[in-house]
């Protein structure tokens, strides 16, 4: 299942969930807005919500794609002009969230779907670092969130 999610400035997320022997989890996100960029660092916190169903405990790994750019430098683009940004697992912006390659890490966890609330809310930290101002306009990127 693919779901379209708005994430940052105009950063789009697509989510995919994978069925397991015990059940499945589907990711969603309400998004993060960087707002108007004026050259200074901007940070914000969003979340990815896993809605799970099935029986017993589901072990999961959440990965993010690079979108525009690489894990080292993701890019919000407006045609050719771009803004560098990144997505992190931690509040100190030390662990780039990706698929485990290119210096990135994944998020591993588990949820007991026999409870009354088999929903997991995972914080997602975003940073748009200090950089030169590109041309004015809307900037966007597309990221795929996968739950395996």
Render pLDDT for 94-148 as a digit per residue (tens, 0 to 9).
999 999 999 999 999 999 888 766 899 999 999 999 999 888 888 888 888 999 8
- Residue of 18, 53, 29, 39 whose CA lies nearest to 148: 18
Of all residues in the chain, the percent with pLDDT exceeding 90 is 51
- pLDDT for 126 equals 95
Higher-pLDDT residue of 103 and 56 is 103
**Residue 27 contacts residue 17 (beta carbons within 8 Å):** yes
**Residue 22 contacts residue 67 (beta carbons within 8 Å):** no
User: Is the pTM value of this prediction over 0.95?
Assistant: no
Query: 144: Cβ–Cβ under 8 A, 6 or more apart, which residues?
Result: 13, 14, 15, 16, 64, 65
Q: Would you give the DSSP letter of residue 97?
A: B
Report the C-alpha gap between 72 and 8 in whole angstroms: 18
- Residue of 26, 18, 12 whose CA lies nearest to 119: 26
């Amino acid at each position: 299942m693919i779901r379209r999610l708005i994430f940052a400035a105009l950063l789009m997320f697509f989510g995919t969930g994978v069925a397991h022997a015990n059940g499945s989890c589907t990711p969603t996100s309400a998004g993060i807005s960087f707002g108007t960029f004026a050259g200074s660092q901007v940070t914000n916190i969003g979340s990815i919500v896993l809605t799970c169903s099935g029986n017993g405990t589901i072990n999961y790994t959440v990965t993010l794609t690079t979108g525009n750019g690489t894990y080292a430098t993701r890019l919000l683009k407006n045609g050719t002009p771009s803004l560098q940004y990144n997505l992190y697992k931690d509040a100190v912006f030390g662990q780039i969230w990706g698929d485990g390659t290119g210096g990135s890490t994944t998020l591993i966890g588990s949820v007991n779907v026999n409870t009354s609330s088999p929903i997991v809310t995972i914080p997602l930290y975003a940073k748009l670092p200090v950089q030169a101002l590109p041309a004015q306009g809307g900037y966007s990127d597309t990221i795929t969130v996968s739950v395996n």
